[in-house]
Amino acid sequence: MALLEVRDLRKTFGGITAVDGATFDVEEQTITGLIGPNGAGKTTTFNLISGFYRPDSGEIRYDGTDLQEIMRPSRAEQEIWVTAAGVGVGGLGLATAAATGGSTLALGVGTVVGAGVGAAAYFGQESFRATVLEEKRHRPFQVARSGLARTFQITRELQGMTVLENMMFAPQDQRGEHLVNAWFRQGTVDEEETAIRERAEEMLQLLEIDHLRDEYAGNLSGGQRKLLELGRVLMTDPEMILLDEPMAGVNPTLTKKLLERIETLREEGYTFCIVEHDMDVIMNLSDTIIVMDQGRKLMQGTPEEVRSDERVIDAYLGG
Amino acid sequence: MALSSSLVSLGVLVGVFGLLALGLNVKFGYTGLLDIGHVAFFLVGAYTSALLVAPPASTQQFGDYILGWSWPWLPAIAVGTVLAGLLGLLVALPAIRLREDYLAITVLGISVILRRIVQSEGWLANGPDSLRGYPLPLRELFPLPGSDLVSALLFGLIIAVFWTVIAYAIARWLGERDGVGSTVVHGAVAVTTLGVGYVAGRLATRYETVGNPEPIDVRAAPDVRYVIAGGLVAGVVAVAGSVAGAGTVVLVAFLGLASLFSWLLGGVLLAAYFSGVDRRDVGMSVGLALAFVVAFLPVILVGGLAGIFGTVLLLAVLVYGLFSLGTGWEAVESSVGFARLIGMAAIWLFLLRYFVLSLVTPLTFRGVGAALAELIQNVLWLLKFTTAGVQFDYVRFLLALTFATVAICYYLLEVTVDSPFGRVLKAIREDEDVATSLGKNTFAFKVQSMVLGSAIAGLAGGLSAIHYRALTHTLFAPRVTFVAFLILVIGGVASNRGAILGAVIYWAFWKGTTDIAQFFPPSARSSVQALRLAVFGALFIVILYYRPEGILGDKGTQTGGGS
């Protein structure tokens, strides 16, 4: 079974059909290249797979699970809404009981019943929206949490934070991200921070930007930002990484190093899907290449097959 | 009112608004949530605590209000804080998923609605009149030292806390200075911890070498032990003294020394901050402070239209001189920046006003003795000298209470923003999509930030209810939110220290310039009062233009980023 299955994916923006029935698979522990002319729908496909856009139709399955299932409300979100609905309607219940001049018992009952009604209303509307309205869910962070991470075509670094902070931000499920732990279990959080800092420093050394560790990310050059973004996504410990033009603006020596690094990571079990316009890179690196044109998959095959395919030469590579 | 009492109540106000600004800083400074209705949570905290502690309305002769459960203050403020946090949750939910300007409008709307409700609903909180008549916490025990055991215990507690803080400060800050010999510091610590605690602590630690004591590090566990021990001993001494009837002696001995020490510590910290200042800079800053005072001489001495004209002319000359000095600052070959020079001048001005000019009135009307008494009162500001003797009055207790609350919140918030939690908040401020792409539930974090910031505003509201002693809707007008923003931007967005400093600057300016108006004829006074707001607005623009990250802000974290 493929790690990522995309079936008949469709997305329109106004009159433009950006992705028009794309269907392809990405096998586990492979490097898949995604190429095509400008406007072929590569980045939109990435945005759909990573959950940032809601598809008009079609299905994406990651690791055998539908993306819609992955993007279900998190526990934290449910807690927040239940608390809010409970407090809000419970408060109304209390006020009603008080206004009608009830006893202490009536006040308590009013509050509890109100809170219950509020919580029930939340769950009711959630299931109504999911089953009756068939609304597409939109929680991209859940996709990243399930191990499918992405980078952006135009780098988006956290400018007001240092390079090291950018890196340390990425790991999942840090204990210190819970306020209670941050306040009352500082020892545990500190230990974890030390471990994360070590990992981040290693990653920075690997990417050769460790001399910039205390620099604000906003002061970095374009190529350095690409490296930072790659390092950051690796820090999240993903299984599959969507890289949108990772080599653009990176110097040749470092490109070579990055390619080696990606190869090594593949050996270690990572899966990559890469959009890249540098044909040398994509041909050398990829196991499989998917060629897209006008929102559709033109063909899928090994680099040799792609290189010799007439349609691809016409549409993209040129004679 | 003596100037020292004004200083103390100014301190309480600074604490309340510093706390309010700290709450806003969590939302706006660290998470980037534009909350222009912050005062709503301040209001909820204030009214909830006041309504809970108030006695039943039927026993009051003025006005009507709900609840009136005569709760103690501690749970009342806690409930007020929690309710403000819950309101933050409720307000945030519908708006927080949308663009941030929707949140701003929603919260502004809520703040105006809540204010209107307390203004117009008479049954709720005696609107539109003030809600008053609620008891103040521990009010009946003051002034200290009292006669009964409860008051003696409270007295002991206060002395213990003050003394621990002082011993800590001596070891922490004086111990770090190179100029102050470590032997002197050890001596000072030994004295402040009353010997007993010091010896006990020293015996517990083995690293002391005779003649060459190592620097004291109170952040390390063994050293902080004797600081606390010293505080406890001081507390026990105070309780014993109070019961034995020698409370006043204990009070003067401990808090008098504490007052003196506060000036010393302030001096040391300022000297450290302004290190690298040469004589010429000091002279220049003193000159600036004097020039400002001199500018008011015409209106005071000559009076009338000519006097006003002279003062305005001199002030204009001063402003122009400052402007040309600022633009040509590189040519001055100074060792400090222009802003620091202004800061120094402001401190000189404060010292001049507090220690020298305050003596003028007593000297002219009541003679040397009165002036001397005024001076002693101003120096020993923690004590209140009355005809009935030396006391520790309620306002000073309130100052300590506010200070402790702000210190705890400040500590918690510093821990928060340095933790991974704070890192996620900052990341959301910088770019929410990046946080999402890295698997952070930005929705949950934004809601938590809203709840935390609002709860702190609620706590500030509870304190303000004690400080104001009566609540009216005008105290919670939308401008309070903008004062909090002003404080934040001046002090430094995304800096907790900046929020406190901003509160100090705002209220020091506001209170410090209040008495300027009295030199002008009555018809012009309200204009002069209003003009202060314009001057402050000008200061705001200057800071935004020359230092957009605020005085203590970090260059990389100014809002809006920008590469």
Spell out the alpha helix ranges (H) of B54-195. Answer: 73-96, 100-120, 122-125, 149-169, 182-192
Average confidence (pLDDT) over B497-524: 85
A-contacting residues in B 90-109 (Cβ below 8 Å): 90, 93
Instruction: Select from B412, B426, B441 the Cβ nearest to the Cβ of A141.
Output: B441
* Whether residue B563 has pLDDT greater than 80: no
Asked if the Cβ–Cβ distance from A141 to B440 is below 8 Å, we say yes
Nearest to B434 among A145, A158, A219 (CB): A158
pLDDT of residue B308: 85
B554 contact residues in A (CB cutoff 8 A): 160
Q: Residue A308 corresponds to which amino acid? A: S
CA distances, B536 to each of B81, B316, B490 (Å) = 31, 16, 10
Alpha-carbon distance values, A193 to A174, A188, A217, B227, B316 (Å): 9, 9, 20, 31, 55
Provide the token pair at B100.
């941030």
Q: How far is A177 from chain B (nearest CA, A)?
A: 4
CA distance A94 to chain B (A): 13
Instruction: Mark yes or no for CB contact B441/A165 under 8 Å.
Output: no
3-state per-residue secondary structure call for A17-51: EEEEEEEEEECCCCEEEEECCCCCCHHHHHHHHCC
B125 CB neighbour count, 10 Å cutoff: 27
Nearest to A306, CA basis, from A296, A292, A291: A291
Residue B503 confidence (pLDDT): 94
pLDDT band at B184 (very low <50, low <70, confident <90, very high): low
Q: Residue B384 — φ and ψ, nearest 5°?
A: -115, 120
Q: How far is residue B75's CA from residue B53's CA, in Å, rounded to a whole number?
A: 9
Are the beta carbons of A218 and B563 separated by less than 8 Å? yes
Higher pLDDT, B66 or A202: A202
Contact A11, A46 (CB under 8 A): no
Q: For residue B328, what are its two tokens?
A: 């040509």
Nearest residue to B392 (alpha-carbon basis) of B110, B84, B162: B162
Given A50, A156, A178, which is nearest B431 (Cβ)? A156
CB contact under 8 A, B424 and A177: yes
What confidence tens digit (pLDDT) does each residue in B345-385 have?
A: 889 988 888 888 888 888 888 888 888 888 888 888 888 88
* pLDDT interval class at B134 (50, 70, 90): confident
Count A/B contacts: CB-CB distance under 8 Å: 130
Query: Before A252, cis peptide (omega within 30)?
Result: no
d(C-alpha B502, C-alpha B491), whole Å: 4
Question: Which of B16 and B173 is assigned the larger pLDDT?
Answer: B16
Q: For residue A51, give both structure tokens.
A: 């959950």
* pTM of the complete model: 0.89
- Region B97-107 average pLDDT: 80
Looking at residues B442-468, what average pLDDT do you find?
Answer: 94
Amino acid, single-letter form, for residue B152: A
Top mean-pLDDT range of A220-224, B20-24, B338-342:
B20-24
Chain centroid to CA A115: how far? 35
Q: Could you say which residues from 492 to 511 on chain B have a Cβ atom under 8 Å away from some Cβ of chain A? A: 494
> Do A160 and B448 lie within an 8 Å CB cutoff?
no
Side chain identity at residue B392, one-letter code: F
Of B430, B442, B558, the CB nearest to A141: B442
Q: Could you say which DSSP state residue B135 is in?
A: P
Residues of A in contact with B431 (CB under 8 A): 156-159
Q: Are residues B420 and A168, on separate chains, in Cβ contact within 8 Å?
A: yes
**B509-534 mean pLDDT:** 81
Q: What is the DSSP letter of A162?
A: B
* Nearest-angstrom CA–CA distance, B124 and B131: 10
- Mutation target to probe the A interface, by most A beta carbons within 10 A, among B48, B408, B423, B452 is B423
Inter-residue contact A61 to A48 (CB < 8 Å):
no
Interchain contact B563–A (C-beta under 8 A): yes
CB B44 within 8 A of CB B83: yes
Determine the residue of chain A that is closest to B91 in CA distance: A84
The answer, yes or no, to whether residue B211 has pLDDT greater than 50, is no
The verdict on whether omega for the bond into residue B75 sits within 30 degrees of 0, i.e. cis, is no
How far apart (Å, rounded) are the C-alpha atoms in residues A44 and A49?
9
Render pLDDT for B539-561 as a digit per residue (tens, 0 to 9): 888 878 777 777 777 665 544 43
Q: Nearest CA to B396 among B12, B92, B1, B2?
A: B12
Lowest mean pLDDT among A98-112, B81-95, B480-494, B544-558: B544-558
Query: What are the helix (H) ranges across B148-278?
Result: 149-169, 182-192, 196-204, 221-243, 247-251, 257-273
Q: Token digits for B442? A: 């930005």
For B439, the closest of A145, A159, A218 (CB atoms) is A145
Here the contacts of A52-56 (C-beta below 8 Å, separation 24 or greater) are A52/A140, A52/B433, A52/B436, A52/B437, A53/A11, A54/A136, A54/A137, A54/A138, A55/A9, A55/A10, A55/A11, A55/A19, A55/A136, A56/A10, A56/A11, A56/A12
CA distance B152 to chain A (A): 34
**Residue of B31, B430, B449, B495 to mutate for A, most A C-beta atoms under 10 A:** B430
Contacts of A232 in chain B (CB under 8 A): 438
Write the pLDDT tens digit of every residue in B380-432: 888 888 877 788 888 889 999 999 999 999 999 999 999 999 999 999 998 88
Nearest-angstrom CA–CA distance, A70 and A139: 9
CB B189 within 8 A of CB B168: no
Tokens of B214: 């190592």
Q: Which has the closest alpha carbon to A70: A2, A129, A141, A128?
A: A141
Check residue B174 and give its pLDDT. 62
Res B180: pLDDT: 52
Q: CA nearest B557 in A: which residue?
A: A160
Which residues of chain A lie closer than 8 angstroms to B452, CB-CB?
Answer: 179
- Residue A24 CA to residue A241 CA, distance in Å, equals 16
Q: Do B429 and A232 touch (CB under 8 A)?
A: no
How many C-beta neighbours within 10 Å does residue B294 have?
13
Query: Which ranges constitute the DSSP H helices of chain A?
Result: 42-49, 67-70, 75-99, 104-131, 140-145, 163-169, 179-184, 186-206, 222-235, 252-267, 279-285, 303-308, 310-312
**pLDDT for position B411:** 92
Best of B416, B441, B450 to disrupt the A interface by mutation (most A CBs within 10 Å)? B441
Q: What is the mean pLDDT of residues B308-318?
A: 89
One-letter amino acid at A6 equals V
Quick one: what percent of chain B has pLDDT higher than 70? 87
Q: How far is CA B41 from CA A166, B34, B164, in A?
A: 33, 15, 34
CA distances from B95 to B4, B27, B90 (A): 46, 14, 10
What pLDDT, on a 0 to 100 scale, did the predictor assign at position A279?
Answer: 85
pLDDT of residue B194: 60
What is the rounded average pLDDT of the residues B184-198?
Answer: 62
CB pair distance less than 8 Å for B415 and A182 = yes
What pLDDT, on the 0 to 100 scale, is given for residue B177?
55
Given a cut of 70, is residue B498 above it in pLDDT?
yes
Query: What secondary structure letter does DSSP report for A247?
Result: T
CB–CB contact A179 B427 (8 Å): no
Residues of B in contact with A83 (CB under 8 A): 89
CB count in 10 Å sphere of residue B82? 16
List per-residue pLDDT tens for chain A, 319 residues long. 788 999 999 999 988 889 988 899 999 899 999 988 888 888 999 999 999 898 888 889 998 888 888 888 888 888 888 888 888 888 888 888 888 877 888 888 888 888 888 889 888 988 888 788 777 888 889 999 999 999 988 888 888 889 999 999 999 889 989 999 999 998 899 999 999 999 999 999 988 888 998 999 988 888 888 888 889 999 998 999 999 888 887 888 888 888 888 888 889 889 999 998 888 888 888 999 999 888 888 888 898 888 888 888 887 777 5
Q: What whole-number distance in Å separates Cα of residue B17 and Cα of residue B24?
A: 10
State the Cα–Cα distance between residues B210 and B200, nearest whole angstrom. Answer: 17
Chain B partners within 8 Å of A151 (Cβ): 437
Q: How far apart are CA A60 and CA A19, in angstroms?
A: 13
Strand duo B389-391 + A31-35: pairing:
unpaired
Which residue is associated with the tokens 């949570």?
A: B41
Q: Sign of dihedral through CA atoms B1, B3, B5, B11?
A: positive
Task: Please list every residue in chain A whose beta carbon sits closer than 8 Å to the beta carbon of residue B44.
Answer: none
ipTM of the complex: 0.91
Query: Which of A24, A25, A45, A236 is CA-nearest to residue A147?
Result: A236
**First CA to last CA across chain A, in angstroms?**
36
Eight-state DSSP code of residue B45: H
Touching A: B residues 445-484, CB under 8 Å? 447-448, 452
More confident residue, B522 or B424: B424
Task: Give, as one character, the DSSP assignment of residue A216.
Answer: B
Question: What residue in B sits closest to A87 (Cα-Cα)?
Answer: B86
Please tell me the distance from the alpha carbon of residue B46 to that of residue B64, in angstroms, as a whole number.
Answer: 17
**C-alpha angle B255-B405-A80 in degrees, rounded to nearest 5:** 170
B272 or A58: which leads in pLDDT: A58
